[in-house]
Amino acid sequence: MPVKKRAGGNSVRALLGFVAWLTGIIVSLSVAFAMIDGTLGLPVWLGGVQVAVVAGWIVVITTIVGLILAIVEYFS
């Protein structure tokens, strides 16, 4: 028996997709800035503070680039 789709299902799916995407952006930036500030670090055997700062900046840059690309794709 085929499954019937409810009216408005696509809008709910789009809203949940947006909420998940926005949550990912917020969490990524929170972790990245914690690594940059030194609140969240790496053990010495993984490179310590220096590697954490570099990784934090990489996450910030790639998150912002991804955000810009998503906005451009949405409006194109």
Which pLDDT belongs to residue 11? 85
pLDDT tens-place string over residues 18-35: 999 999 999 999 999 999
Characterise 64 by phi-psi region: left (phi > 0), alpha (psi -120 to 50), beta (else): alpha
pLDDT tens-place string over residues 47-61: 999 999 999 999 999
Distance (Å, rounded) from C-alpha 19 to C-alpha 66?
A: 16
| Whole-structure pTM value | 0.79
